[in-house]
Structure 1
Amino acid sequence: MKTITSRDNAFYKELKQLATSSQARRKAGQSLLDGVHLCQAWLDLKGAPDHCLVSEDALSNPEVRAIVRRCEELHTHVTAFPEALFGAISQVEHGVNIAFLAQTPRPQQPEAITESAVLLDGVQDPGNVGSILRSAGAAGIRQVYCGPGTAFCWSPKVLRAAMGAHFVLDIFENADLPALVRAARVPVLATSGYAAEQLYELDLSAPVAWVLGHEGQGVSQELLDLATHRVAVPHAGQVESLNVAACAAVCFFEQLRQSRR
Structure 2
Amino acid sequence: MSSVKSKKQREKKGYILLEGRRLIADSLAAGVVPRYVFFSRTSDVAGLRLPATQLYKIPYKTISLWSDVTTSQGVIAICKLPASEDIESSGEELPLTIVCDNVREPGNLGAILRTAVGAGCRQVVLTKGCMDLWDPKVLRSGVGAHFRMKIFRDVAWEEVSDILGTSFVCLADNNLGDADCGESETGEHDQEAKDPQARHTVPVVPYYDVNYARQTSVVLVLGGEAHGLSPSAYQLAASRKGVRVHIPLANGTESLNTGTALGVIVFEMKRQFLTRIPDESEDDSFSVTKG
Please, what TM-score do these two structures have when normalized by structure 2?
A: 0.74
> Displacement of 1:63 after TM fit?
5.1
2:204 aligned with 1:196: yes
Tell me the distance in 2 between the aligned counterparts of 1:117 and 1:220.
18
1:246 to 1:33, Cα distance in 2 relative to 1, 3 A: same
CA distance in 1, matches of 2:119, 2:8: 31
Unpaired segments ≥5 residues, structure 2 = 87-93, 177-202, 276-291
CA–CA separation in structure 2 for the residues paired with 1:251 and 1:46:
31
Q: CA RMSD in A?
A: 2.2
Q: Is the 8 A contact 1:142 1:168 kept in 2?
A: no
Q: In the alignment, residue 244 of structure 2 is paired with which amino acid?
A: R
Deviation at 1:108, TM superposition (A): 4.9
In structure 1, the residue matched to 2:11 is 26
Determine which structure has the larger helix proportion and give its number.
1
- Give the whole-Å Cα distance in 2 for the aligned partners of 1:78 and 1:63: 12
1:64 aligns to what? 45
Flag structure 1 segments of 5+ consecutive residues without an equivalent.
Answer: 1-14
Report the equivalent of 1:120.
100
1:231 to partner: Cα distance = 1.0
Q: Look up the match of 1:141.
A: 121
- 1:243 to 1:155, Cα distance in 2 relative to 1, 3 A: same
Do the aligned partners of 2:64 and 2:71 also contact (CA within 8 Å) in 1? no
Cα offsets for 1:170-192 (capped at 9, x unmatched):
11111123542486311011111
After superposition, residues 92-171 of structure 1 pair within 5 angstroms as: 92-108=69-85, 115-171=95-151
Task: Using the aligned pairs only, state the percent identity.
Answer: 30
Q: How many matched pairs?
A: 234
Matched residue, 2:219: 209
Quote the Cα distance in structure 1 between the aligned partners of 2:211 and 2:253.
27
Distance 1:251 1:52, change over 3 A: same
The alpha-carbon deviation at position 45 of structure 1 amounts to 3.0
- Is contact 1:178–1:223 with CA below 8 Å preserved after alignment? no
For 2:267, which of 227, 231, 253 is the aligned residue? Answer: 253
| TM-score normalised by L of structure 1 | 0.82
Conservation of the 8 A alpha-carbon contact between 1:178 and 1:226: no
> Does residue 230 of the first structure (1) align with residue 244 of the second (2)?
yes
Shift of 1:115: 4.4
Q: SS at 1:146's partner residue? A: strand
Q: Alignment partner of 1:255: what SS?
A: helix
3-state SS in 1 of match to 2:83 = coil
Checking the alignment, whether the CA contact within 8 Å between 1:186 and 1:207 is kept in structure 2 is yes
- For residues 243 and 148 of structure 2, the distance between their equivalents in structure 1, rounded to whole angstroms, comes to 27
